Amino acid sequence: MLQYLKYLIPFINPQVRNWTWEARLLNWLTCIWLLVGLITLISASYPEGVIEHQDGFYILKRQLIGIIVGIIAFNIVTNKPLKETLKISPIMVLFLLLLIFLTTVPGIGKTVYGARRWIALGPFSLQPSELIKPFLVLQAAYLFARWKNLTWNIRGTWLAIFSLTLAGILIQPNLSTTALCGMSLWLIAVAAELPWPQLLSVSLGGLSVAGLSLWHNPYQWDRIVFFLEPWDDPQGKGYQLIQSLIAIASGGWSGSGLGLSQQKLSYLPIRSTDFIFSVYSEEFGFIGCLFLLLFIILYGTIALRVAFKSKSKIQRLVAIGVMVFLVGQSLINIAVATGSLPTTGLPFPFFSYGINSIVASLLLAGLLIRVAREGSKGKVLKLKIEQRT
Amino acid sequence: MTTTGSYSRTKYPDKASLFTHQWQSFFLMLGISLLLFGGIGWRLVYLQLEQGERNSLKADENRTRTVPKPPVRGNILDRRGKILATTRLSHSAYLWPKAQKQENWQQNRDVLAKILGIPPQDLQKRVEVAGFNYPSLIPIASNLTPAQITAIQEYRELIEWVEVDIGKIRHYPQGELASHILGYTGELDAVELERRKSEGYRLGDVTGKMGVESSYEHLLRGEWGGLKLEVDGAGRIISVLGEDPPGAGQDITITIDVEVQKAAEKALGTQKGAIVALNPHDGSVLAMASYPRFDPNIFSSRVTPETWRELKKKGNPFLNMALRGFPPASTFKVVTDTAGMESGKYPPNTILGTFPALNVGGTLFREWNRRGFGPMGYVGALAWSSNTFHGQIGRGVGGKELIKWARNYGYGSKTGIELQGETAGLIADDAWKRRNFNNWGWTTGDTVNMSIGQGFTTATPLQVAVMFAAIANNGYRIQPHLLQNKEVEKVNLNLKPSTVSTLKKGLRAVVNGGTGGRLNVPTLPPSAGKSGTAEAPPGEVHTWFGAFAPFDKPEIVIVAFAEHSGGGGGSVAAPMVKEVMETYFNSTVKNKK
């Protein structure tokens, strides 16, 4: 029993000093990312909490639950050999795939903002499309790393499962997560050196599916068009983006200071999730944004370094997959908030409020750190694992 | 590149292979990252550094609301500073549409309508015009009685969206006095609001609807101020940031003299008609009375249908008779004589015979005494108002000359006084007659008719006053006006001094021994004038009298007109002129001037 308590300890772990320097650095960077995100979330969500829940810390409290669960998962993953984690990934993918389809069943799926993405679990809700991200990375890495040794039977089965997953997320509807997952899978496949003709034909297929989705859900098309000219309908479709732009822009050089965002008071919609970056940039200004971008670049660079230093292809692919999910998703979120990309509902990893999102992000970060640990100096962890099991 | 696949160790890729597939994927990701970072970085520079200040302002606008504060309308004063129109405080009811919940609107609306004593449909319309999302208060009733205020408080729970506040209403302390000049104020209606929105008018704004209130709206109105509030996204007030006090409207002083105006209205009594008094040198109007009248205070609060019916009973109380055209009758003989002398055809010393009637192409123009007065000159003909004398002059100079001089005196066009609804009267000519009478041309009969102020000719009492002023001031057409110290034009008619002096002598003779004998009293300075009695079939005759005084140094021109009064100019209108003149020259009034 006592041995499991260590999983509750965030980041500070006596074993850390035995890790590779990349793993240690990533461990601390993740910790910083999480803390900065949490501070931003407190600031962004406080007014909303006061108005809607009569408790300024309502959202923080829920997010902390997510962080506790996420840190447990993070510690398990960083301490378990990747090999073992990989073993449960097919089961997890299939299980979460089932849940994704369950969200579309009326009575089980919970509808928020016109999309069925959640399964209600008492006061909390499960968002399988978030939770599946780390397992998709694992499974894709596992599949594509061995691609050339597999029969078309197996390849086909897994490709079908991936396609079903994407389709399930798409019909929720959640185009942005579908696109993110699709692009991540594709990039993992690219890194796995799959033949270009296969890669290109898959990407063509994906694009045509995206086109079809747009054709079926005009609201997505409106979003895509309106990010270009939000001022055409400032009270309607353009409202979210305009408020976000006003928030970001009024940050100026140095920002208004922590907690002093005007826009978060209630003009800015979904300020604790999709548009949390707008609050961050209003409060910390251009300098704060520059630091955040540099931070993400640093994180991505180290993730890539881990990928290239890794000893097996599967590890490399896992690292790349995590990098794409964490860094890519952050960049897309920022791009959306700044009006550089169409408005989509992607959370900012470690910043946005969302129990599922924070658990998934911590799991992803854990996988990356695990890969880093297994980098060149494998002997230390080997020993630890022997102790534990 | 080896691809053994399974989670067994693979060799670290050797250098040669790095530039193949593995690096392609690396470059791909690098490219995507650079694109995203570059795009976002550029976007942030643009938004935060270039647009920062502008958007900061926008964010400020986002959180501030201005609650408009209406200006206080300027007062209207008479030439001696007496208040004619002012603003008074009263309890008003306002509706706050945002606070109203739709469900019980109908029923609660009826409760409110009952308390205020207005039809529910009116209330409905007002809210609909503003829209249920109107951000500020809509005034719905003013001048609330204490009972109404209590009732509103009693039904508070049902009508919590009604606010009782001290409001400002227009007040005319003199009641009906000078109502045609002052006009009245009222709220903008929906159509007008739409039209004047660009000028900054808002729903419920009070504007001048008639008279000086309307003509000098731009001076009286003032500027809206506002209370700057900090609000949150839902519009809840967080704090008051500042106040921009409204700019009060200007007070304006008009040329009316309350005492003279009172005298004029008293002299007119309940006779339908008008009295105009003006200064012959600068054209300032001292009095302009018209009957029927109305009380402009009525319009300061909501007009009830009963009040409206009551008003309508009086005929058309909004019509300013001083600005409507009527046949000027014998007062027009001044124009005929001017044409006679100025044309050179009938110099001042002309003597003509007068007859029982003048035969013009088979039509008889009768002398009013049906006998004739024997031979007479201009002075005698004016004193006795001989029709045949003036008929001959008119016939002699011809229609064109007569029309020219009529127009020179200002007949046939608006004087340009600052009041709406002025008519131009009519000085007909050949073209006009052909247009209106089936292409029949101008005849000598028309000329003769015109020469005695009958036929097609109509003139407003104000125009007649302008004509008398031109004689009083030795030949200048002045522009009548109401705003004190207004710069106005004075047109020199270039009359020969002999013409002016002959006319003056004639007009003096009218008072001294002719039809205007009523003015020949020791209590008044010597005056000069001319009567007029216009046939107005099928009704009784209209009567006129126009005069100026003192004769040597004229200070005032007074014209009285009585519609369908019967009698004669000398017996009906002249006493009215006398009454006004007495007030004017009454020492107490005059000394204060």
Tell me the average pLDDT across A127-152: 90
Nearest chain B Cα distance for residue A326, angstroms? 12
pLDDT of residue A376: 59
Mutate to test the interface with A, among B11, B17, B27, B62 (most CBs of A within 10 A): B62
User: Of B4, B20, B25, which to mutate for an interface test with A (greatest number of A Cβ within 10 Å)?
Assistant: B25
Closest CA–CA distance from residue B241 to any residue of chain A (Å): 15
Using the predicted structure, report yes or no on whether residue A310 has a pLDDT greater than 70: yes
Structure-token match 């908030």, residue found: A337
Residue A69 has pLDDT above 60, yes or no: yes
Using alpha carbons only, how large is chain B's radius of gyration in Å? 37
ipTM over 0.95: no
Structure tokens at B172: 């005319």
pLDDT higher than 90, residue A223: no
Q: Tell me which residue of B122, B101, B99, B102 sits closest to B112, measured CA to CA.
A: B122
Q: How far is A168 from chain B (nearest CA, A)?
A: 27
Selected residue of B47, B49, B63 to mutate for chain A interface (largest A Cβ count, 10 A):
B47
A376 Cβ under 8 Å from any chain B Cβ: no
A185, amino acid identity: L
Q: Are A44 and A281 in contact (CB under 8 A)?
A: no
Q: How many Cα atoms are found within 13 Å in the side-chain-facing hemisphere of B484?
A: 13
Nearest Cα to Cα of residue B328 among B269, B284, B274: B274
Numbers of helices and strands, H then E, in chain A? 15, 3
Residues of chain B short of pLDDT 70, as ranges, are 1-23, 52-67, 98-103, 135, 230-239, 302, 304, 587-593
For A102, counting Cβ atoms within 10 Å of its Cβ (0-12 exposed, 13-18 middle, 19+ buried), the class is middle
Residue A236 DSSP code: T
How far is it, in rounded angstroms, from Cα A385 to Cα A382?
5
- Closest partner CB to A248 (pick from B1, B48, B62): B48
Tens of pLDDT along B304-360? 677 777 777 777 888 999 999 999 999 999 999 999 999 999 999 999 999 898 888
| Per-residue DSSP letter, B329 | G
Q: Determine the Cα–Cα distance for residues A229 and B459; give it in Å rounded to an integer.
A: 64
**Angstrom distance (rounded) from CA B112 to CA B106:** 10
pLDDT average, residue stretch A247-274 = 77
Domains and their CATH numbers in chain B = 65-96+108-253 (3.90.1310.10), 258-295+314-591 (3.40.710.10)
Who among B22, B55, B232 is closest to A249 (CB)? B55
Mean pLDDT along residues A157-163: 91
H helix count then E strand count, chain B? 22, 19
**Please, what's the b/e burial string for A157-184 (b: 16 or more CB within 10 A of its CB; e: otherwise)?**
ebeebbbebbebbbbbbbbbbbbbbbbb
Closest-approach residue (CA) in chain A for B63: A262
- Chain B residues with beta carbon closer than 8 angstroms to that of A306: none
For residue B317, what are the contacts with CB-CB under 8 A and spacing of at least 6?
Answer: B179, B292, B293, B294, B311
Residue B360 near residue B304 (C-beta atoms within 8 A): no
Within 292-351 of A, beta carbons closer than 8 Å to B belong to 293, 297, 300, 304, 311-314, 320, 324, 327-328, 331-332, 334-335, 338-340
CA distance A57 to A40: 13
Q: Please give the pLDDT value at position B555.
A: 92
pLDDT tens column, A186-217: 889 888 888 888 888 888 888 887 788 778 77
Q: How far apart are CA B84 and CA A34, in angstroms?
A: 75
Task: Report pLDDT for A1.
Answer: 56
pLDDT of residue A193: 84
Q: How far is A357 from chain B (nearest CA, A)?
A: 22
B residues 58-117 near A, CB within 8 Å? Answer: 58-60, 62-63
The structural domains of chain A, with segments of one domain joined by +, span 43-388
End-to-end CA distance of chain B: 114
- Residue A190 sits at the vertex; the CA angle it makes with B15 and A133, to the nearest 5 degrees, is 125
- Residue B318: count other Cβ atoms within 10 Å of its Cβ: 19
Dump the DSSP string for A356-377: HHHHHHHHHHHHHHHHHHTSS-
Q: Retrieve residue A122's tokens.
A: 């008492």
Which two tokens mark A189? Answer: 């496949």
Residue identified by tokens 């009478």 is B437
Which of A193, A297, A328 is facing B3, going by the closest CB pair?
A193
The answer to whether the CB of A16 falls within 8 A of the CB of A27 is: yes
User: How many CA atoms are closer than 13 Å to the CA of A276, on its beta-carbon side?
Assistant: 29
What is the Cα–Cα distance from A125 to B60, expressed in whole angstroms? 37
Indicate if the pLDDT at residue A153 is higher than 50: yes
**Angstrom distance (rounded) from CA A47 to CA A267:** 11
Q: Residue A197: helix, strand or coil by DSSP?
A: helix
Q: How far is CA B497 from the centre of its chain?
A: 37
Cα–Cα distance, B228 to B218 (Å, whole number): 25
- Residues with Cβ within 8 Å of A201's Cβ and at least 6 positions away in sequence, in order, are none
Q: Can you tell me the distance from the alpha carbon of B389 to that of B367, in angstroms, rounded to the nearest whole number? A: 9
The one-letter amino acid code at B385 reads S
